[in-house]
C-alpha cells in the first residue's frame, strides 16, 4: 500500500514540477522517473530531508503518527520523546505533527498523516468535539486511533483512550485549596473549555471545594499557554483586588498566573494551583510562588499509548479506557518528586 501511495504522490510531484516551469513555486516537488536512475537520484536530493529519511526508515516497518494539540508544551514534548524512543526501538518510524493549538490545522495534519500511509495514529485532540472529521477519515482509512490525555466526544471512533484520572487531578487540588483559603473567598479559573480534559479537571475541582461557598469570579480560556494566560490573569487581578486564588487547568497556565501576580507585587498573597506536575510547576512550588499541582505521569501515558497501538496492530484486544493515576504535589512533598524532570 505504501508503494502504491508513493507512486501516486510521485506522479503528482512530476505534474507540479512541469507547472512550476511557467511560474514561481514556494516548494519544489521531487521528480522521479523509474526508467532513469539519474533522475531518481536527483529527485532524492531535491526532496525535503525529513521525507527522504522517513521513506528510508519506513521500508518494511511500521509508521506511527503522533498529533498532540501543540508541541510548544513540555508535557506533550516529554510524551513525544518517550513515544519516539519506544517506536524507534522496534525499528519503526514516528511522524510528529504540531497543530499549534489550531483545531482546523490539527484535522488537516491528521489527513496529511493518513496520506503518508501511517499504520496507527496517536492523537490528543485540541477540541474534543471538532476533531470528529479527522476521526472519521482515520476510520475510513482503516487506521486505528489511540487517543491519549484528552478524550474525544465521538469515542466510538477511538480504538482506545489512555488518559490520566483528570477528575481526581482537579479534586485533589480543590481539597487542598479548601484547607488553605477561607470560605466565601474569590477564585478565578483559567482553562481550555474546548478540551474534554480541562472540563473534567474543573469538574473535579468544583467537587473538591464543595461546601466552601467560594465565589468564582472568572472562567477564562487560557488555551493552556503561559503567554495567553498571563494577560488574562493580570486583568483578573486588576478587577478583583481581593482575589484569593487561581485554579489553572495546566501548569503552563498556572505559571502565567504566577508571573501576573509577581508583576502586580502580590506574590504570596494569592494561591496558585495548576495540573500536570511539570518540572517548571514543581520548581515554582519549591520556590513558594505556586501552591500546588494535580500531578500526572506523561511517561506512563506515552508508554501505555504505544503499547496499546502495537497490541491493536497485532490483532489483540485492548481495554476501551486506560486510566493513569493522578495525585497532589505541594510544598509538603515536592522534594520527594524533584524539580528536574517529570514523574
Predicted pLDDT of residue 216: 98
- Please say if the pLDDT value at position 322 is more than 80: yes
Report the distance separating Cα 292 and Cα 312, nearest Å.
37
| Residue 8 CB-density burial (10 A; 0-12 exposed, 13-18 middle, 19+ buried) | exposed
CA 58 to the chain's CA centroid: 25
Would you call 178 helix, strand, or coil by DSSP?
helix
DSSP 217-284: EEEEE-TT-HHHHHHHHHHHHHH-TTEEEEEESSHHHHHHHHHHHHHTT-TTTSEEEEEE--HHHHHH
Q: In the structure, what pLDDT confidence band is assigned to residue 149 with cuts at 50, 70 and 90? A: very high
pLDDT tens sequence across 260-318: 999 999 999 999 999 999 999 999 999 999 999 999 999 999 999 999 999 999 999 99
- Please say if the pLDDT value at position 32 is more than 60: no
- Please say if the pLDDT value at position 18 is more than 80: no
- Please say if the pLDDT value at position 28 is more than 60: no
Tell me the three cell numbers of residue 222: 487560557
Fold type of domain 166-297+328-337: Rossmann fold (3.40.50)
Distances (CA, A) of 95 to 53, 75, 84, 114, 124: 11, 18, 9, 11, 14
Predicted pLDDT of residue 94: 98
Would you call 122 helix, strand, or coil by DSSP?
strand
Sheet (strand 271-276) strand order? 215-221, 186-191, 243-248, 271-276, 292-295, 327-330
Q: In the structure, what pLDDT confidence band is assigned to residue 195 with cuts at 50, 70 and 90? A: confident
Q: In the structure, what pLDDT confidence band is assigned to residue 333 with cuts at 50, 70 and 90? A: very high
Mean pLDDT of the chain: 86
- Please say if the pLDDT value at position 20 is more than 80: no
Choose among 117, 98, 109, 150: nearest CA to 133: 109
**Comma-separated ranges of CATH 3.40.50.2300 domains in the chain:** 166-297+328-337
Predicted pLDDT of residue 295: 98
Handedness of CA 246, 288, 74, 257 (dihedral sign): positive
- Please say if the pLDDT value at position 1 is more than 50: no
What is the rounded average pLDDT of the residues 199-209?
A: 97
Q: How many Cα neighbours within 13 Å face the side chain of 55?
A: 12
What is the rounded average pLDDT of the residues 125-153?
A: 97
DSSP 182-211: -TT-EEEEEE-TTSHHHHHHHHHHHHHTTT
pLDDT tens sequence across 53-68: 343 344 559 999 999 9
Q: In the structure, what pLDDT confidence band is assigned to residue 16 with cuts at 50, 70 and 90? A: very low
- Please say if the pLDDT value at position 19 is more than 80: no
What is this structure's pTM?
0.75
Amino acid at each position: 500500500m505504501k508503494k502504491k501511495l508513493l507512486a501516486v504522490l510521485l506522479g503528482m510531484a512530476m505534474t507540479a514540477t512541469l507547472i512550476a516551469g511557467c511560474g514561481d513555486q514556494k516548494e519544489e516537488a521531487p521528480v522521479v522517473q523509474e526508467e532513469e536512475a539519474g533522475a531518481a537520484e536527483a529527485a532524492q536530493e531535491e526532496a525535503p530531508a525529513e521525507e527522504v529519511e522517513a521513506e528510508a526508515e519506513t521500508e518494511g516497518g511500521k509508521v506511527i503518527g503522533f498529533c498532540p494539540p501543540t508541541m510548544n508544551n513540555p508535557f506533550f514534548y516529554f510524551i513525544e520523546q518517550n513515544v519516539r524512543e519506544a517506536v524507534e526501538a522496534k525499528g519503526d518510524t514516528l511522524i510528529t505533527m504540531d497543530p499549534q493549538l489550531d483545531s482546523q490545522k490539527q484535522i488537516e495534519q491528521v489527513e496529511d498523516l493518513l496520506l503518508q500511509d501511517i499504520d496507527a495514529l496517536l492523537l490528543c485532540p485540541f477540541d474534543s468535539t471538532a476533531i470528529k472529521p479527522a476521526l472519521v477519515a482515520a476510520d475510513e482509512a482503516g487506521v486505528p486511533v489511540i487517543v491519549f490525555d484528552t478524550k474525544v466526544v465521538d469515542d466510538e471512533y477511538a480504538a482506545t483512550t489512555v488518559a490520566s484520572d483528570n477528575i481526581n487531578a482537579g479534586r485533589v487540588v480543590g481539597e487542598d485549596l479548601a484547607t488553605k483559603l477561607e470560605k466565601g473567598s474569590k477564585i478565578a479559573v483559567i482553562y481550555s473549555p474546548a478540551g474534554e480534559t480541562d472540563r473534567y479537571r474543573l469538574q473535579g475541582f468544583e467537587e473538591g471545594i464543595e461546601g466552601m461557598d467560594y465565589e468564582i469570579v472568572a472562567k477564562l480560556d487560557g488555551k493552556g499557554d503561559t503567554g495567553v494566560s498571563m494577560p488574562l490573569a493580570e486583568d483578573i487581578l486588576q478587577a478583583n483586588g481581593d482575589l484569593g486564588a487561581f485554579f489553572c487547568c495546566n501548569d503552563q497556565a498556572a505559571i502565567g498566573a504566577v508571573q501576573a501576580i509577581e508583576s502586580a507585587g502580590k506574590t504570596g498573597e494569592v494561591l496558585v494551583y495548576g495540573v500536570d506536575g511539570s518540572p517548571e510547576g514543581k520548581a515554582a512550588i519549591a520556590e513558594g510562588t505556586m501552591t500546588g499541582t494535580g500531578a500526572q505521569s506523561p511517561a506512563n501515558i506515552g508508554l501505555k499509548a504505544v503499547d496499546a497501538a502495537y497490541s491493536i496492530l497485532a490483532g489483540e484486544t485492548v481495554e476501551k479506557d486506560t486510566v493513569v493515576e493522578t495525585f497532589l504535589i505541594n510544598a509538603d512533598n515536592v522534594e520527594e518528586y524533584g524539580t528536574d524532570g517529570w514523574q
